[in-house]
């Protein structure tokens, strides 16, 4: 059985400022809930206000939550987001760069430039833009943790036809993460990434429901015999942000049910 949200375990997070992009659903929502449970002040950044407000109602009373509208592929939007957080809270302690979107999946030989561009912008450039404005804020205080959401697809080729652009973007996230981590290794800001396997988020569940054959293939790729849960990924993100992971720098945490083993 997959674990539920664990008891509080990181007292140092109480009152800290945690930004979760794409925090209205799936992995992002589970992570926002986990931060709130530890007593953090959580900012969910997303595009859909209705969904975000529903998400805020699920946060634990121990923490506080708010929503900020932001398209993470738009540098001006990201700059405004970070400026507003600093104006209200004065700092950012944790950032989980989770939001992502892409173009239509298709084989490389027939992929449109538009689909390629949307996927690279949605999953890679968005992470760069977030880091571009999060880092100066953290460097002013000399502390902070950034966790970027990559994927096992950032470690190997996409296993189904049509995912080349997504895999390329996720490989790029790891290259960006490692390079940034080395740039700031001695600055008090830790930068790392998480690489989930197949996780039971709403899009993945919908994808499996629509195509039973592909669903069987996906489950078959997981030695553990099931999809991961958003809570399991959130547990990993919080550990990476915690003082328990103080020596974790640049290298990704792989949570994949044995997929890459």
The residues assigned a catalytic role are 166
- What is the percentage of the chain residues whose pLDDT exceeds 70? 97
Q: Does 42 reside within a domain?
A: yes
Q: Does 73 reside within a domain?
A: yes
Model pTM? 0.94
CA 216 to chain centre: 26
| The total number of structural domains that make up the chain | 1
Q: Does 218 reside within a domain?
A: no
String of b and e for 226-256 (b: at least 16 CB within 10 Å)? ebbbbbbbbbbbbbbbbeebeebbbebbbbb
**pLDDT surpasses 50 at 51:** yes
- What's residue 211's pLDDT? 80
Q: Does 221 reside within a domain?
A: no
Dist CA 13 CA 40 (whole Å): 6
Q: Contact at 8 Å (CB) between 37 and 63?
A: yes
Q: Region 116-136: what's the mean pLDDT? A: 97
- Cα separation values, 221 from 67, 80, 166, 199, 232, Å: 36, 41, 18, 12, 18
Q: Does 192 reside within a domain?
A: yes
Dist CA 261 CA 246 (whole Å): 25
**pLDDT surpasses 60 at 1:** no
Those residues with Cβ within 8 angstroms of residue 211's Cβ, 6 or more apart along the chain or in another chain: none
Q: Does 67 reside within a domain?
A: yes
Q: Region 142-165: what's the mean pLDDT? A: 94
Task: Determine the structural domain holding residue 161 and report its residue range.
Answer: 11-200+229-255
pLDDT per residue as tens digits for the range 182-233: 999 999 999 999 999 999 998 888 878 888 888 888 888 889 999 999 999 9
Q: Does 116 reside within a domain?
A: yes
pLDDT per residue as tens digits for the range 162-178: 899 999 999 999 999 99
Structure tokens at 38: 């530890």
Q: CA Rg, the chain, in Å?
A: 17
Dist CA 139 CA 251 (whole Å): 21
CATH number for the domain spanning 15: value is 3.40.50.720
**pLDDT surpasses 70 at 234:** yes
Dist CA 171 CA 43 (whole Å): 27
Average pLDDT, the chain: 93
Q: Does 173 reside within a domain?
A: yes
At 140, is the pLDDT very low, low, confident or very high (cuts 50, 70, 90)? Answer: very high
């Amino acid at each position: 059985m997959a674990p539920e949200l664990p008891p509080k375990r990181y007292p140092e997070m109480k009152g800290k400022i945690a930004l979760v992009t794409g925090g209205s659903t799936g992995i992002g929502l589970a992570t926002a809930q986990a931060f709130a449970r530890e007593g953090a002040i959580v900012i969910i950044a997303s595009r859909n206000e209705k969904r975000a407000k529903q998400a805020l109602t699920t946060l634990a009373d121990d923490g506080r939550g708010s929503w900020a509208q932001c398209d993470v592929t738009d540098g001006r939007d990201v700059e405004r987001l970070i400026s507003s957080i600093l104006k209200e809270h004065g700092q950012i302690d944790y950032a989980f760069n989770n939001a992502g979107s892409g173009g239509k999946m298709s084989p490389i030989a027939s992929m449109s430039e538009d689909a390629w561009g949307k996927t690279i912008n949605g999953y890679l450039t968005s992470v760069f833009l977030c880091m571009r404005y999060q880092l100066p804020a953290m460097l002013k205080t000399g502390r902070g943790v950034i966790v970027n959401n990559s994927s096992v697809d950032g470690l190997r080729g996409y296993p189904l036809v049509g995912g080349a652009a997504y895999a390329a973007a996720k490989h790029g996230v790891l290259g960006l993460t490692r390079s940034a981590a080395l740039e700031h290794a001695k600055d008090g800001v830790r930068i790392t990434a998480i690489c989930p396997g197949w996780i039971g988020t709403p899009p993945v569940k919908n994808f499996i429901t629509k195509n039973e054959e592909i669903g069987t293939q996906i489950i078959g790729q997981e030695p553990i015999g099931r999809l991961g849960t958003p809570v399991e990924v959130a547990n990993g993100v919080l550990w990476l942000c915690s003082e328990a992971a103080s020596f974790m720098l640049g290298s990704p945490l792989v949570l994949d049910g044995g997929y890459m083993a």
